[in-house]
Structure 1
């Protein structure tokens, strides 16, 4: 009995040729164009805010992330980070780009494994009613499971020391 073929459509990834290979013909694997794009992805959202996808990171590592935001006319050229603290993400620099938009540099501490999303806000220094939210989306893998290939715009700048209680020489209370 022949097994029925099932096909699932997925966004992004590897696609194999549907046609059976003829004798002597090489088989082909086709990679979607998005896979060749190894830069931090900035996507405008419907509400005027932005989603920044930084790819795979490693838990307990500190990263510098640099990305460009398109011009937001309401923000103007004088922009600052909101004083609302984020535990793991902070903006370290905002620079206007001559051709329009902003170059944003931030520091991100990948705390634990999983799909994480941290948010920062940008404020206009000339219009107090304007606020743009930037969500940084990362896939964080365990610190013991290999090394991710970092996207262009992401750089590891430090590793947090892992505390291991078995390495302590403290004898405890008597």
Structure 2
């Protein structure tokens, strides 16, 4: 069975078993942070490609039932900069995170937001990224992600500086 036309944003099947998605769907998926459920009260926040030893500010909005005020359980490589009630039609929060891409390949960092009014209500955010190492290219960052700094490279000449005598 072969389909030649795109219908309502659905993929079309091409000869040879390849599936082709409409261009606008591919562009949107590649340029947006993707948030999806990963279990009971856990959301996966898929950031795409980042670069090793870079720091990023990541901002996104989630739907939740935590109420306006939340407490944050700390994470080693993902530091919450701000959590504000979202200004969308759905209850939730806009979250801003300072993220250090501290290891190459697949990286996951967990952040837990807990309701201040009901300590039994919490949501765990799992930040997923594929981190490119040195010389592996420069990723195009998704909307809501900006590079805020680069760690000094131990192999660079700048690290050989011994200070003033």
Which TM-score band applies after superposition, normalised by the shorter structure?
0.7 to 0.9
Whether 2:154 is the aligned partner of 1:163: answer yes
Q: Matched residue of 2:118: which SS? A: coil
Alignment partner of 1:17 is 2:9: no
Question: How many residue pairs are counted as aligned between the two chains?
Answer: 144
Distance 2:45 2:59 in 1: 10
Mind listing any 5+ residue stretches in structure 1 that lack a counterpart?
Answer: 1-13, 20-28
Higher Cα radius of gyration: 1
Question: 8 Å contact 1:80–1:94 — kept in the other structure?
Answer: no
Report SS of the residue matched to 1:46.
Answer: coil
TM-score normalised according to structure 1 size: 0.74
Aligned counterpart, 2:115: 124
Residues 165, 42 of structure 1: CA spacing in aligned structure 2 closer, same or farther, 3 A cutoff?
closer
Q: Report the RMSD for the aligned CA atoms in angstroms.
A: 2.4
SS state at 1:150 partner: coil
* Deviation (angstroms), 1:168: 2.7
Give the TM-score, by structure 2 length: 0.77
